[in-house]
Amino acid sequence: SQKIEQNSEALNIQEGKTATLTCNYTNYSPAYLQWYRQDPGRGPVFLLLIRENEKEKRKERLKVTFDTTLKQSLFHITASQPADSATYLCARSDSNSGYALNFGKGTSLLVTP
Amino acid sequence: EAQVTQNPRYLITVTGKKLTVTCSQNMNHEYMSWYRQDPGLGLRQIYYSMNVEVTDKGDVPEGYKVSRKEKRNFPLILESPSPNQTSLYFCASSSMSGGTDTQYFGPGTRLTVL
């Protein structure tokens, strides 16, 4: 199956800074990439989706980029707040996957005051 | 309120005792799926269903069964649970008419098999 790799090391940043999380994929580009937020013991919550032919997507303080040359998506949270602390999951969707999402293992973000 | 519900939320059982985890969604979604989440392994798909009476295996289907008799419900059945099925389970649903497969997850069921 197509792999999704996220940095397993936790990311610690100071409140107000921009957090940048990385998602790398293997082989061919997925039809789109999705980003989810997961709080401990709770179900993932959808945040943003970016299609293969889009370079950037924004939603409030969130921004996602899709670089097919680097086979990478970056997820940015600007003006980060302690409430942004969570695990962020990247998932790829392939047009031939029958709507199955292939999730990365997630990156934990801790925003300290 | 649009939601996916799961029951029970927590369950402790013993090896070999059949159990069912229910999942229900009120969004009229065609696609439903079960995942398990284990430390260091991330979310792995167990089974999925693209519509009523249509189910298929995901990446880790061994030891599980599902059924889809109604559009809103997608129960996960463990006929003979074993300790290696101790995990956090999530049900998810998605509309297949929107052009994307954004998934809506339930709150999770934490299962411990002794």
Instruction: Return the residue in A6, A46, A52, A59 with the most chain B beta carbons within 10 A, the one to mutate for interface testing.
Output: A46
Summarised one tens digit per residue, pLDDT across range A75-90 is 999 999 999 999 999 9
Are A1 and B108 within 8 A, CB to CB?
Answer: no
Q: Give the residue-averaged pLDDT of A87-95.
A: 86
Rounded to 5 degrees, φ, ψ at B38 are -125, 145
- Tell me which residues of chain A, numbers 29 to 68, contact chain B at a CB-CB cutoff of 8 Å: 32, 34, 41-46, 49
Q: How many residues does chain B have?
A: 114
Are B43 and A32 within 8 A, CB to CB?
Answer: no
Longest dimension (CA), chain B: 43
A57-78 burial, b if ≥16 CB within 10 A, otherwise e? Answer: beeeebbbbbeeeebebebbbe
Q: Give the residue-averaged pLDDT of B29-58.
A: 92
Q: Where does residue A37 rank: exposed (0-12), middle (13-18), buried (19+ CB within 10 A)?
A: buried
pLDDT tops 90 at residue A39: yes
In which band, very low, low, confident or very high, does the pLDDT at A99 lie, cut at 50, 70 and 90? low
Q: A-B interface: how many C-beta pairs under 8 angstroms?
A: 52
Summarised one tens digit per residue, pLDDT across range A40-76 is 989 999 999 898 889 899 999 999 999 989 999 999 9
pLDDT at residue number A57: 94
Q: How many residues does chain A have?
A: 113
pLDDT at residue number A7: 84
pLDDT tops 90 at residue A107: yes
Are B100 and A32 within 8 A, CB to CB?
Answer: yes
Instruction: Return the residue in A2, A48, A103, A108 with the most chain B beta carbons within 10 A, the one to mutate for interface testing.
Output: A103
